[in-house]
């Protein structure tokens, strides 16, 4: 069934008339929506994809890049045995809030194979997944070990790191193997940068800058320790991985370029938005051009080792490898290294965004498409220098599929416009239960049927084939097609396994009127199927929540929460409201992710394991931050204080340093602060020169520090100090200690220090150093000047910082730190009479008790709560706070967890 991610229509408007005509003709039922033209550039260029081709002289069909994974499975015959087995859904996780655009596999350690009988499912996971998203985040996913005694519930990938190093969309990720001592990976994005990031703690190891447009692809040339990046600026660049130096620039193409690198012979193959394929020497000399290799944009390239047992392979003229190209013309083509066309593969009904050849299965490759499917293809050699192939399976998704990658276990992973990462396996023992798989397939069909329903008014029902003609019409596996049943249009899907059409449902959208929404910063203006009125706050105000039937309910709920400033603990309630009032099915909880970023619904199983039943209040999923402030006033105060220092004082700013500071403050005050780039000299003044100022003059300094703690470039402070940023924390703790010990009222300094520490819990690199020294930080909060400060903002910030620790501990096997936080929370709650502060404390307690990964931890935490009499400070025993509303609900949930 033709269907696409709704945000993609904006790029169609800028593409070739021929493609647009084909898309309109083949996909009349697709709903299209108008978007601001200013956003077109964000999606226009094709994504650049790079891979490394192995030497042709090697007897192995496996690339050196992927060979390090092969010891994970001792015998390739296991994969051949599974060649005819269908892929089944094994995992479905939603951590990203927007489309997932890229994914790669990164080895955690050196792999070895000591037993020929070992299977992929029995070995410890030795790899992690890395995904990048339009929400500007990069997430590292770890595969959890599942005891053999446990009933099959699918694979469990948990988000171990959530990185915000990029300032805009993340378009590409790729593994790095150049340094055996530091496991790492690369990422590239719309901010025109490529980064090398450490796998263990997420710190930035190197930054590659120079492109004039977004970096949309990258890959490593391990033999020469080079990184290759491709950009929307029409160029590809080669970089020295260690130094970050740009070694070479290729500028033949226009707009985005797809690049494939071959080791022997040393060649580059590039494809571009100009539809041409170019073959280059590694030094950058053009050797051959294939004009109009496709009828539209070339989106991705990969290579395929050709069949070795066929008649063709016995001929000396037969190629041993082929270049695969995917395009907006809905085709995948195979090319010999001399530029001859070997085959073209038809089957998709929309743009093909990715093609990935299997390194573990002979003659197999995978594709990802805008028609909401991932297809599995098998290649055959029909005669010398000619290939043929067919799609053996179609994996349905609810939205556009952007990328597909193969895991060393033989599974595959797809990333989708709906913000989800999905893993598919041929091993039924590791797949999700049948009910969960059927629900995912049903939701995919419903989403595609809903897309058809949204534009049913434009369908000429009389022109549709009658249902009686169905038996004479064949389709591709997973293809959706409309037939005429009386005066109704009905959607059917082709099932390859049964060789017949399967009814999905009637297209009933023709009679339904959509409603116009004027638009805001989160929801674009246009026609929506529903505009719900949601009551929020104690005042009972109603706020509009626009929703289209093809939207992801979770994404819509997140946008609504962000717009209205609602804590994401309400996500489950809002998402359920949308599903209930639109007739959409709810997502299977068994395929969700449990983490510090986990949707609230995913924590119900943990409640059940406590014996607590159904919760009324969800644990926290995100940290509290403090971004707003009067930074113009802070700058003036810094200048005022600086004038009080003698000119020969080490703390006194020179004229040039003052200018650097003013430049930085101007960026901090900008509405686009998070996208601003700070110079090293500006950061040196702020974090080195101002760090020596005494506590009596530290209030405006800490105010500036807490703003920059939220900026992605704060990692530069880590690199500069060499201690992962710990010295800035030490300075803040020193100011906090002196303020608490002072006889004077130092409330402003206490508040600024606490807000800085709370903001450090947002970015993963900062959070790492805070967790590493959690005992020291938590001990600094034990002062009565913090826990019983008469200023509500101080107490609320202290509760927020403790809640942030609770969120950070969610995926850690850390008990001592959790207990310290519980003790501090009890001290804060004991005499607290303010409802806002008390409720935030309750959320922190709830999060600590509900998220420990091990049952033993849960028992220890319950015991710790009993020792400190936690129940005594909860209503109704605590008479200082009313036991009603949200406070009563949270208190009851905590008491259930303590039983």
Please report, for the domain that includes residue 338, its CATH number: 2.130.10.10
Please report, for the domain that includes residue 645, its CATH number: 1.25.10.10
Assess if residue 649 is contained within a domain: yes
Same domain for 559 and 647: no
Which of 593, 614, 634 is the last residue in one of the domains?
Answer: 593
Same domain for 275 and 403: yes
- Summarize pLDDT for 203-236 with one digit per residue, the tens: 999 999 999 988 888 888 767 788 888 888 888 8
Same domain for 651 and 585: no
Assess if residue 676 is contained within a domain: yes
Assess if residue 27 is contained within a domain: no
Q: How far is CA 864 from CA 419, 608, 867, in A?
A: 39, 21, 5
Same domain for 543 and 438: no
Whether this model's pTM surpasses 0.85: no
As a whole-number percent, the residues of the chain with pLDDT over 70 amount to: 76
pLDDT of residue 109: 66
Same domain for 776 and 718: yes
Same domain for 159 and 303: yes
CB–CB of 407/398 below 8 Å? no
Assess if residue 356 is contained within a domain: yes
Instruction: Give residue 424's Cα distance to chain centre.
Output: 18
DSSP-based three-state secondary structure for 440: helix
Rounded distance between C-alpha atoms, residue 228 and residue 539, angstroms: 56
- CB-based contacts of 684: which residues, under 8 Å, 6+ apart? 660, 720
pLDDT of residue 71: 36
Task: Tell me the pLDDT band of 411, cut-offs 50, 70 and 90.
Answer: very high
- Parallel/antiparallel/unpaired status of strands 52-53 and 257-262: parallel
Task: State yes or no: pLDDT of 390 exceeds 60.
Answer: yes
Please report, for the domain that includes residue 578, its CATH number: 3.10.20.870
pLDDT of residue 591: 29
Same domain for 233 and 173: yes
- Summarize pLDDT for 98-139 with one digit per residue, the tens: 899 999 999 886 433 333 333 444 445 689 999 999 989 999
Which of 442, 477, 494 is the last residue in one of the domains?
Answer: 442
Same domain for 83 and 127: yes
Q: Give the position of tokens 């209503």.
A: 875
Assess if residue 598 is contained within a domain: no
DSSP class per residue in 6-21: GGGHHHHTTS-HHHHH
Assess if residue 207 is contained within a domain: yes
Task: Tell me the pLDDT band of 646, cut-offs 50, 70 and 90.
Answer: very high
- Summarize pLDDT for 853-871 with one digit per residue, the tens: 677 788 889 899 999 999 8
Assess if residue 500 is contained within a domain: no
pLDDT of residue 583: 61
Q: Averaged over 691-707, what is the pLDDT?
A: 94
Rounded distance between C-alpha atoms, residue 756 and residue 702, angstroms: 7
Higher pLDDT, 161 or 567: 161
pLDDT of residue 899: 75
Q: Helical H runs in 773-899?
A: 774-779, 784-787, 792-808, 816-830, 835-850, 855-867, 885-898
Same domain for 173 and 314: yes
- Summarize pLDDT for 605-627 with one digit per residue, the tens: 444 444 444 456 777 878 899 98
Rounded distance between C-alpha atoms, residue 352 and residue 355, angstroms: 8
Same domain for 272 and 173: yes
Task: State yes or no: pLDDT of 202 exceeds 90.
Answer: yes
Same domain for 686 and 542: no
- Parallel/antiparallel/unpaired status of strands 277-281 and 401-406: unpaired
Assess if residue 12 is contained within a domain: no
CB–CB of 256/11 below 8 Å? no
Q: The domain containing residue 537 runs over which residues?
A: 515-593
Same domain for 321 and 177: yes
Q: Residue 487 half-sphere exposure, CB side, CA atoms within 13 Å?
A: 3
Number of domains in the chain: 3
Q: How far is CA 410 from CA 84, 91, 420, in A?
A: 13, 14, 20
What are 369's two structure tokens? Answer: 């498409």
Which of 740, 759, 780 is the last residue in one of the domains?
Answer: 780
- Summarize pLDDT for 158-176 with one digit per residue, the tens: 999 999 999 889 999 999 9
């Amino acid at each position: 069934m033709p269907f696409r991610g709704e945000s993609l229509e904006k790029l169609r408007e800028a593409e070739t008339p021929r493609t647009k005509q084909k898309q309109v003709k083949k996909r009349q039922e697709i709903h299209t929506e108008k978007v601001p033209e200013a956003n077109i550039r964000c999606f226009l260029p094709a994504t650049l994809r790079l891979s490394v081709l192995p030497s042709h002289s090697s007897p192995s069909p496996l690339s050196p890049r992927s060979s390090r994974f092969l010891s994970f499975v001792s015998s390739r015959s296991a994969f051949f045995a599974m060649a005819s087995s269908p892929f089944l859904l094994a995992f479905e996780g939603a951590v990203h809030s927007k489309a997932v655009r890229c994914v790669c596999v990164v080895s955690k350690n050196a792999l070895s194979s000591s037993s020929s009988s070992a299977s992929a499912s029995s070995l410890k996971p030795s790899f992690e997944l890395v995904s990048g998203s339009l929400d500007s985040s990069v997430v590292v996913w770890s595969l959890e070990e599942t005891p053999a005694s446990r009933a099959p519930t699918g694979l469990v990938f948990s988000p171990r790191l959530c990185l915000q190093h990029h300032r805009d969309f993340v378009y590409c990720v790729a593994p790095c193997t150049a340094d055996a001592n530091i496991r790492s990976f690369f990422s590239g994005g719309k901010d025109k940068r490529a980064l090398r990031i450490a796998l263990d703690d997420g710190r930035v190891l190197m930054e590659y800058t120079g492109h004039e447009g977004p970096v949309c692809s990258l890959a490593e040339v391990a033999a020469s320790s080079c990184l290759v990046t491709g950009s929307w600026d029409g160029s590809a660049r080669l970089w020295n991985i260690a130094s970050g130096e740009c070694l070479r620039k290729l500028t033949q193409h226009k707009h985005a370029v797809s690049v494939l690198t071959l080791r022997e012979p040393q060649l580059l193959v590039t494809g571009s938005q100009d539809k041409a394929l170019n073959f280059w020497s590694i030094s950058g000399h053009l050797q051959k051009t294939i004009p109009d290799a496709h009828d539209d944009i070339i989106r991705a390239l990969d290579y395929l080792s050709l069949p070795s047992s066929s008649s063709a392979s016995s001929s000396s003229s037969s190629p041993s490898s082929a270049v695969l190209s995917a395009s907006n013309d809905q085709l995948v083509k195979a090319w010999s290294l001399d530029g001859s066309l070997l085959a073209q593969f038809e089957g998709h009904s929309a743009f093909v965004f990715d093609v990935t050849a299997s390194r573990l299965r002979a003659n197999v490759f995978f594709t990802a498409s805008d028609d909401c499917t991932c297809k599995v293809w098998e290649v055959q050699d029909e005669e010398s220098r000619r290939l043929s192939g067919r799609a053996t399976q179609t994996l349905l998704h609810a939205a556009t599929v952007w990328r597909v990658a193969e895991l060393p276990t033989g599974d595959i992973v797809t990333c989708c416009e709906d913000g989800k990462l999905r893993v598919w396996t041929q091993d039924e023992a590791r797949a999700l239960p049948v009910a969960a798989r059927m629900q995912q397939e049903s939701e995919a069909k419903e989403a595609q049927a809903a897309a058809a329903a949204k534009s049913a008014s434009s369908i000429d029902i009389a022109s549709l084939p009658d249902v009686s003609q169905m038996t004479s019409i064949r389709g591709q596996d997973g293809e959706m097609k409309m037939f005429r049943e009386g005066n109704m249009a009905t959607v059917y899907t082709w099932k390859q396994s049964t060789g017949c059409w399967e009814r999905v449902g009637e297209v009933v959208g023709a009679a339904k009127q959509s409603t116009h929404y004027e638009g805001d910063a989160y929801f674009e203006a246009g026609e929506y199927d529903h505009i719900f009125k949601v009551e929020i706050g104690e005042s009972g105000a109603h706020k509009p929540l626009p929703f289209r039937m093809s939207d992801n309910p979770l994404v819509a709920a997140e946008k609504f929460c962000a717009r209205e400033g609602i804590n994401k603990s309400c996500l489950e309630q809002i998402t359920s409201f949308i599903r209930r009032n639109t007739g959409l099915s709810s997502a299977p909880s068994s395929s969700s992710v449990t983490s510090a970023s986990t949707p609230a619904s995913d924590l119900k199983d943990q409640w059940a394991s406590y014996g607590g039943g159904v919760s009324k209040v969800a644990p926290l999923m995100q940290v509290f931050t403090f971004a707003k402030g009067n930074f113009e006033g802070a700058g003036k105060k810094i200048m005022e204080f600086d004038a009080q220092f003698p000119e020969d004082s080490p703390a006194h700013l020179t004229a040039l340093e003052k200018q650097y500071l003013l430049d930085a403050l101007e960026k901090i005050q900008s509405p686009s602060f998070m996208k601003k780039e700070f110079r090293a000299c500006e950061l040196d003044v702020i974090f080195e020169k101002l760090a020596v100022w005494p506590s009596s003059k530290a209030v405006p300094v800490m105010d500036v520090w807490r703003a920059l703690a939220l900026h992605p470039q704060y990692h530069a402070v880590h690199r500069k100090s060499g201690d992962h940023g710990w010295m800035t924390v030490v300075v803040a703790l020193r100011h906090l200690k002196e303020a608490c010990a002072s006889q004077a009222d130092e409330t402003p300094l206490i508040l600024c220090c606490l807000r800085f520490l709370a903001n450090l819990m947002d970015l993963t690199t900062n959070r790492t150093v805070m967790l590493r020294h959690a005992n020291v930080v938590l001990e600094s909060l034990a002062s009565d000047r913090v826990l019983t400060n008469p200023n509500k903002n101080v107490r609320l910030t202290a509760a927020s910082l403790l809640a942030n620790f609770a969120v950070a501990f969610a995926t850690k096997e850390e008990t001592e730190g959790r207990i310290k936080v519980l003790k501090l929370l009890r001290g804060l709650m004991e005499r607290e009479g303010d409802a806002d502060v008390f409720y935030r404390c309750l959320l922190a307690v709830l999060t600590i008790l509900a998220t420990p990964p091990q049952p033993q931890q849960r028992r220890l935490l319950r015991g710790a709560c009993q020792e400190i009499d936690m129940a005594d400070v909860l209503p109704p025993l605590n008479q200082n706070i009313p036991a009603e509303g949200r406070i009563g609900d949270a208190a009851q949930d905590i008491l259930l967890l303590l039983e």
